[in-house]
Amino acid sequence: EKKKDWWQTATFYQIYPKSFKDSDGDGIGDLQGIRQKLDYIQSLGVSAIWLSPIYKSPLKDGGYDISDFRDVHPQFGTLADFKELLEDAHQRGIKVILDFVPNHTSDQHVWFQLSANRVAGYEDYYIWADPKGSGAVQVVPNNWLSVFKGSAWTFHPVRQQFYYHQFLKEQPDLNFRNDRVRQEMKDVLTYWLDAMDVDGVRIDAVPHLIEDNDLSDEPKSANAANYKPTDFEYLEHTRTVNQNGSFELVYEWRSHLDEISKLDYTFRVMMTEAATDIDQVIRYYGENDTNGAHFSFNFWLEDLTDKNINADKLEGIISIWMQKLSEHGYTPNWVLGNHDNHRIATKVGVNIADGLNMLTGFLPGVQVTYAGEEIGMEDGEVDCEHGDDFHEDCSMYKRMSRDFERTPFQWDDSTTAGFSTNNETWLPVSPKKDKCNVKAQQDSERSHLKTYMNIEKLRKQFGKLSDDVYTFKIGDDNAVLDLVRYVENDVKNVGLCAYHFLFNLKNGYNSFDFTDSVKEKRYVVLATSSNGTHAVGDIIEDSHLGLDPFEAVILKTN
Ligand code: TEU
């Protein structure tokens, strides 16, 4: 088997900079705050941090609306602060990945101002279209919808045309059919990867990069019949996502990234965000001999809830992804959450969160952790009045706001959870910090955090195992998921030297018999912190094992 690169067995730790640690007392997290917490990050054992956008921005979409791609938002610090963070991280062997948001800019970006004023050279930087018809009322060019809300077109009074925006109206889409725009964004990549020396990029919203050129209407979705005729919302997104050009752009950026890496013999990683169906996700990894992203996020575990989680469902997700990716020789990856979705501990229940961290840590390939998952952090509580994201529309707030998963990180049980010296934090600190915080979990012998740190240690060994995963369902009602990975050179002597991951997904005791040889010696290398009786080092003498509700254990047999 080919020797693996570091990233193929790595854990990427996502930090939402506003929420991690405030160093200057303004109630908002910043770069020096992250720098202060590098000891903690290092103690986790993760390989890399990925920072959500840190750039100049009016912050209409949490920084995903960028007004200067080359500078840091003063709220987060300065370029000098970023360099210090990068240097200190590198000194500890931690890679730093930045968010690259090419699909759109802020409407405050100078390019948009120039384009709106039809300044020569900038006319076609964005996607402009005339109103339909010639009546007094400005009619949108077509029925395309924004991912967030309503039409994807907004009329610009200066230019007297509509501009296209896949997200907020403050986030006009760049026109990637324009070579100058292509070059501009390549230059942004060069700036961060080459001049600033960052270790890679997470590319935002790649399915949306290019739209159908003739602006034809979207068809109604198959179940549109069930909706009121005024419900405009129930249209397909076939003209605006996964167009061939979007894949080509990703491939172009990959080859650009590789060229930069060749110059200084330093590997750089590229990951893409495409919340779309699996075959399209795989196309962002590459096509035929053309490389795309090193990996494109697998969001299937994000759909888990306490209602749908069971051994069947997990087994299905794992086998489909393992099979599809191995067909292409690509590296799998496993994501439990991010800044766009309710926290996994809230969705499935805190008692299942450890088992899921153990699962993503056990599986072959890349593990992605959203800061807070390692302590079983749940969503915070925010009301519209104190909200940030979509708070302008309180009827939408509960349904659409992503504030809940962005509340300040819980370092300790003090008033602001150790996040800030200022009691006025940008989003309220969750009252759950009393019980759920880093300090308490560091001090306790068994905790979510300790389990997480242990799985990270074990990953160093798991990386050397064969990449095949054997999946079984055992126990009463097939409620226990049993995943087996063998030591590479032992695959043929099945059963001799292997790791088992056992996860009881039933809210009840489960007991089962090992079907393989009883002569083997089995011992526990990891167990969930709060449910169950097993502990690291326990030797399992009999061919029989009992698991408490939602208990997960990793056994080694040899
Ligand atoms: O999200 C891209 C995306 O497609 C969104 O629809 C995402 O699935 C949605 O926010 C879920 O609620 C990326 C970023 O992750 C997100 O934070 C940004 O708002 C968005 O791009 C626009 O830049």
| CATH numbers and ranges of domains, the chain | 7-101+179-380 (3.20.20.80), 104-173 (3.90.400.10), 464-557 (2.60.40.1180)
Q: Give the burial string for 366-390 (b: 16+ CB within 10 Å, else e).
A: bbbbbbbbbbbbbbbebebeebbbb
CA–centroid distance, residue 105 to ligand 1 (Å): 14
**Ligand 1 within 6 A of 275 CB?**
yes
Could you please report the per-residue DSSP string of 445-472?
Answer: SS-HHHHHHHHHHHHHHHTTB-S--EEE
CA–centroid distance, residue 148 to ligand 1 (Å): 9
Of 19, 64, 106, 146, best ligand 1 pocket probe by most atoms within 8 Å of the beta carbon = 64
Q: Are 53 and 68 in contact (CB under 8 A)?
A: no
Residue nearest to ligand 1 atom 18, measured at CA: 64
CA–centroid distance, residue 339 to ligand 1 (Å): 9
Residue nearest to ligand 1 atom 1, measured at CA: 205
**Ligand 1 within 6 A of 334 CB?**
no
- 490 sits in the region (left: phi over 0; alpha: psi -120 to 50; else beta) called alpha
Q: What is the end-to-end Cα distance of the chain in Å, rounded? A: 22
Partnered with residue 347 across adjacent β-strands are none
- Number of the ligand 1 atom closest to the C-alpha atom of 338: 15
CA–centroid distance, residue 100 to ligand 1 (Å): 13
| pLDDT, one tens digit for every residue, the chain (558 residues) | 567 899 999 999 999 999 999 999 999 999 999 999 999 999 999 999 999 999 999 999 999 999 999 999 999 999 999 999 999 999 999 999 999 999 999 999 999 999 999 999 999 999 999 999 887 788 999 999 999 988 999 999 999 999 999 999 999 999 999 999 999 999 999 999 999 999 999 999 999 999 999 999 998 887 766 666 555 667 888 999 999 999 999 999 999 999 999 999 999 999 999 999 999 999 999 999 999 999 999 999 999 999 999 999 999 999 999 999 999 999 999 999 999 999 999 999 999 999 999 999 999 999 999 999 999 999 999 999 999 999 999 999 999 999 999 999 999 999 999 999 999 999 999 999 999 999 999 999 999 999 999 999 999 999 989 999 999 998 888 899 999 999 877 656 555 678 999 999 999 999 878 766 555 688 999 999 887 789 898 888 877 889 999 999 999 987
Tokens of 28: 């908002």
Of 19, 97, 167, 277, best ligand 1 pocket probe by most atoms within 8 Å of the beta carbon = 167
**Ligand 1 within 6 A of 205 CB?**
yes
Partnered with residue 471 across adjacent β-strands are 483
d(CA 119, CA 109) in angstroms, rounded, equals 14
Q: Which residues are catalytic?
A: 204, 273
**Ligand 1 within 6 A of 147 CB?**
yes
Of 340, 370, 396, best ligand 1 pocket probe by most atoms within 8 Å of the beta carbon = 340
Note the helical H segments in 97-178: 110-116
- Number of the ligand 1 atom closest to the C-alpha atom of 208: 4
**Ligand 1 within 6 A of 377 CB?**
no
Could you please report the per-residue DSSP string of 379-419?
Answer: P----GGG--TTTT-HHHHHHH---GGGSPP--SSSTTTTS
Residue 28 phi/psi, 5-degree rounding, is: -125, 135
- Number of the ligand 1 atom closest to the C-alpha atom of 166: 22
CA–centroid distance, residue 501 to ligand 1 (Å): 33
**Ligand 1 within 6 A of 61 CB?**
yes
Residue nearest to ligand 1 atom 16, measured at CA: 340
Its ipTM equals 0.95
CA–centroid distance, residue 64 to ligand 1 (Å): 8
- Number of the ligand 1 atom closest to the C-alpha atom of 103: 23
CA–centroid distance, residue 94 to ligand 1 (Å): 26
Q: What is the pLDDT of residue 229?
A: 55
**Ligand 1 within 6 A of 203 CB?**
no
Q: Residue 21 carries which side chain, given as an amino acid letter?
A: K
Residue nearest to ligand 1 atom 23, measured at CA: 64
- Measured CA to CA in angstroms, residue 287 lies from 250, 259, 393 at distances of 11, 19, 42
Residue nearest to ligand 1 atom 7, measured at CA: 340
Q: What is the pLDDT of residue 496?
A: 65
CA–centroid distance, residue 337 to ligand 1 (Å): 13
Residue 13 phi/psi, 5-degree rounding, is: -110, 110
d(CA 525, CA 522) in angstroms, rounded, equals 9
Q: What is the pLDDT of residue 416?
A: 98
